[in-house]
């Protein structure tokens, strides 16, 4: 399989030179950072580590969508807010970002700094496989 070249999503906006190359070697996706220095602040926020309902440590990672709203990156998939934050409510429902494209019904609920998986089954492969090995080839 050929390698895939990536550039920072802020390439045009901030003239960022950060680059990465991915390649599958012996069934493992390997990532090489060809230029790891960004010319801007990160576009994502990482909360403190939390314990999810599956008893493994995880982090809530917020990433910006193409339209500027925050998505949650969790367990290899992104989730979009299912509804607006309601005054007085501490929890928020999120649906898989592939809800329309793949008819995916996966859902999570956030409350403060915790994630509860409401519907775990996805109708597609993970958008961002979590088994990637970060190494140089």
CATH node for 41-132: 2.20.25.240
Please, where are the H alpha helices in the chain?
11-14
What does the pLDDT look like over 72-95, one tens digit per residue?
988 888 999 988 877 888 889 999
SS3 content of the chain, % helix, strand, coil (to 5): 5, 45, 50
CA 11, CA 36: separation in Å to the nearest integer? 13
What does the pLDDT look like over 26-74, one tens digit per residue?
777 777 777 878 887 766 554 444 333 343 444 578 888 878 788 898 8
In the chain, list all ranges with CATH 2.20.25.240: 41-132
């Amino acid at each position: 399989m050929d390698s895939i070249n990536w550039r920072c999503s802020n390439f045009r906006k901030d003239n960022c030179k950060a680059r990465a190359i991915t390649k599958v070697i012996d069934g493992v996706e390997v990532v090489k950072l060809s230029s790891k220095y960004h010319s801007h602040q990160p576009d994502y926020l990482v909360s403190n580590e939390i314990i999810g309902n599956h008893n493994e440590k995880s982090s809530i990672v917020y990433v910006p969508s193409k339209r500027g709203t925050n998505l949650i990156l969790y367990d290899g998939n992104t989730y979009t807010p299912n509804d607006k934050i309601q005054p007085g409510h501490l929890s928020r429902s999120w649906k898989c970002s592939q809800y329309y494209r793949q008819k995916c019904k996966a859902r999570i609920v956030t409350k403060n700094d915790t994630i509860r998986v409401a519907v775990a089954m996805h109708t597609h492969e993970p958008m961002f496989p979590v088994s990637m090995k970060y190494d140089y080839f």
